[in-house]
Amino acid sequence: MGIGALAAVGIRRVWGSTLRAPVAWCVVSALTIAAVETYLAVFPNEITEFSRSLLRYAAAASTFCPIMAVLGSKRPQDRGWQWIVLSLWIVLLVPAGQALAAPSGQRLELSGIWRGMLIALIAMELLNYLPTRFSLSAVLATAGQGLLLAPYLLSHETSELAVGSGLSLILIAGLSVLLSARRRGKKTGQLNQPGPVEHLECRWFAFRDGWGAFRGLRILQRVNQTAELSGWPVRLHWSQGFVGESAAEIDDANVAHIEQTFDSLLRRFECMNQTAPQPRPS
């Protein structure tokens, strides 16, 4: 339930942006896991090991929904994309359905193809956020996922310790994200007189960290393409912000053009009333 509470708090922070759906899926996943674990704890003697493995697999598979929602978090297709997210969850449940229809063992076991798919999804999550300020959170979250799915990836019996450890790592990852966001908010209040492009750099870093590398690299490419065609004296760098000639000497026309470019590219992601700059990560 702690994971669900953190996700609910996160919804408030991203309300109005396209990250609202991924965080909502975090809530759904957390509630699903909580419901399964509560059911197993209340009726420990009435559940067979086979049914236990099916329920825990179904709950663990839901943890892939948030990252899939992030990949489709661009207006206007972000709403329809949620059906794709739900479809992914259903597809991942196919092995459980097959095992339920034709039981062939004491617990659910996945074939090599399904194991490869799960590993690929975990790797995709890690790669998306590893180059951001949330890299530690990404490592903790994917490690937690790995522990939840370890019985199915490694074909061994479910360990209560592994399940508890996996959920703890995911909870710590969520806390890390919220603490980092709070520190970012405090730094925002300390930006008294930002430079001509500093507030745009803050906006870039907020987008990069929120939506991850797959979206961030595309925006970076588009900004630098415009910079090349327009002859800006700076270029956008993944970790350093705007680099090139002194940003303090950029004229107002260039600043206005850069801001217009950001508005054009990010309006399909950010809050519709986005006005406050986000600080550059330390």
Across the chain, the runs of DSSP E, i.e. the strands, are 234-237, 241-244
Give residue 3's pLDDT: 60
Amino acid letter, 148: L
Q: Is the pLDDT of residue 14 over 90?
A: no
Residue pLDDT, tens place only, 145-171: 999 999 999 877 777 888 889 999 998
Distance CA 42, CA 256 (A): 61
Question: Any idea which residue has 């890390």 for tokens?
Answer: 176
**Higher per-residue confidence, 155 vs 223:** 223
Give residue 15's pLDDT: 77
Give residue 94's pLDDT: 95
Question: Any idea which residue has 């062939």 for tokens?
Answer: 104
Average pLDDT over residues 196-216: 89
Amino acid letter, 254: N
pTM: 0.84
Distance CA 170, CA 141 (A): 5
* Contact yes or no for 203/266 (Cβ under 8 A): yes
* Contact yes or no for 234/250 (Cβ under 8 A): yes
Q: Work out the percent of the chain whose per-residue pLDDT is above 90.
A: 55
- Residue 246 banded pLDDT, cuts 50, 70, 90: low
Give residue 175's pLDDT: 87
**DSSP summary character for residue 62:** G
Q: Is the pLDDT of residue 233 over 90?
A: no
Average pLDDT over residues 200-210: 90
Amino acid letter, 105: G
Q: Is the pLDDT of residue 231 over 50?
A: yes
The answer to whether the Cα torsion of 39, 41, 42, 47 is positive or negative is positive
* Contact yes or no for 279/188 (Cβ under 8 A): yes
Give residue 191's pLDDT: 45
Give residue 10's pLDDT: 62
Average pLDDT over residues 107-116: 91
- Domain residue ranges of the chain, discontinuous segments joined by +: 2-187, 198-266
Q: How many helices (H) and strands (E) does the chain have?
A: 12, 2
Q: Mean pLDDT in the chain?
A: 85
Q: Is the pLDDT of residue 282 over 50?
A: no
Q: Work out the percent of the chain whose per-residue pLDDT is above 70.
A: 84
Here the tokens at position 268 are 């399909």
